[in-house]
Amino acid sequence: MTTAERTDGSATELLGTLAADHATGALSTESGIFYLAAGHVVHVESAHSPDLGDLLTRSGAVAPAGWWEAVERAGAAHQVGRRLVDSGRLTAGALELCHLGALFDAAYFALAHDGAALRFRPGVAHWFGAVRPVPVATVLRESRRRVDLLHRIWPDPAVDTAPLTRGAGADPAGLPPRRGRTLALVDGGRTAAQIASALAHRTFHTLVELRRLAADGLVTPAPPPPPATPVHPVPDAGGAAWDEPDTALLRRLLDALEAL
């Protein structure tokens, strides 16, 4: 497969092929990028999910200055994760758990909201560096689990990516604390990813709360903005808090990876 080659089929199918080929490189979908090394997933990015640096700094786990120091010193060598640990800013175990949660969050979006255009770039590596390579089968299985769970709560996936607005009479008071904090940030403009980032929460945790709010009629996708009114120039007028991840689940996944 040549650099920037467009392919047919789904991202799930292509990931399986790349895993079987022990491929290294970056697979871009409509809504995310999978970085692979020797057929394993080492990093995933999506615009619909806060990145690892955003989560670590907003939660207070790593100071912003420490994060950017690691990026500047180790990004070119693809060793940012190692730099964070070696400098004492983060323990290896905390980094693995945080990275695994962010990887699965981004993979959910990259797969659940996949489009037709796919592109694989051989040999491309992510600047953060590998933390814990994850088998493609594990990533696909976890993404399917999330899709099924969210569908059971509320079947409309538009809640995941659209700007959200409150339903009539929606009030955070009286709701469970996490759900109330989530609803309080629904303002007609923020998306799930922006709400998760503002709360320093895992995206998937935020999606669960938003789908529950949607099921109760408290949150709906915001209507699209009206088309802009064209401007006609006038002649001669001169121009125009850290949220704990699902630690038990992540530790079970880490144990399973250790056993491979």
Sorted by where each begins, the domain ranges of the chain are 5-143, 154-221
Q: Is the model's pTM score more than 0.75?
A: yes
Q: What is the pLDDT of residues 84-124, one digit of tens each?
A: 999 999 999 999 999 999 999 999 999 986 566 789 999 99
Query: Is 166 strand, coil or helix?
Result: strand
pLDDT band (50, 70, 90) for residue 224: confident
Lowest mean pLDDT among 66-70, 167-171, 221-225, 248-252: 248-252
Q: How many residues does the chain have?
A: 260
Q: Extract the tokens encoding 87.
A: 């400098």
Q: Which residues, in sequence order, are CB contacts of 121 under 8 Å at separation 6+?
A: 3, 4, 25, 26, 28
Q: What is the pLDDT of residues 115-135, one digit of tens each?
A: 667 899 999 999 999 999 999
Res. 249: pLDDT tops 80: no
Residue 203's region, left for phi above 0, alpha for psi from -120 to 50, else beta, is alpha
Res. 225: pLDDT tops 90: no
Q: What is the pLDDT of residues 12-70, one digit of tens each?
A: 999 999 999 999 999 999 899 999 999 999 999 998 998 899 889 988 899 999 999 99
CA distances, 246 to each of 41, 53, 238, 241 (Å) = 20, 19, 59, 15
Res. 227: pLDDT tops 80: no
pLDDT band (50, 70, 90) for residue 237: very low
CB 125 within 8 A of CB 30: no
Q: What is the pLDDT of residues 154-190, one digit of tens each?
A: 999 999 999 999 988 888 888 999 999 999 999 999 9
Please report the pLDDT score of residue 108 as a whole number. 95
What mean pLDDT is predicted for residues 245-258?
Answer: 57
Res. 217: pLDDT tops 50: yes
Burial class (CB in 10 A: 0-12, 13-18, 19+), 104: buried
CA distances, 66 to each of 77, 92, 217 (Å) = 17, 16, 42
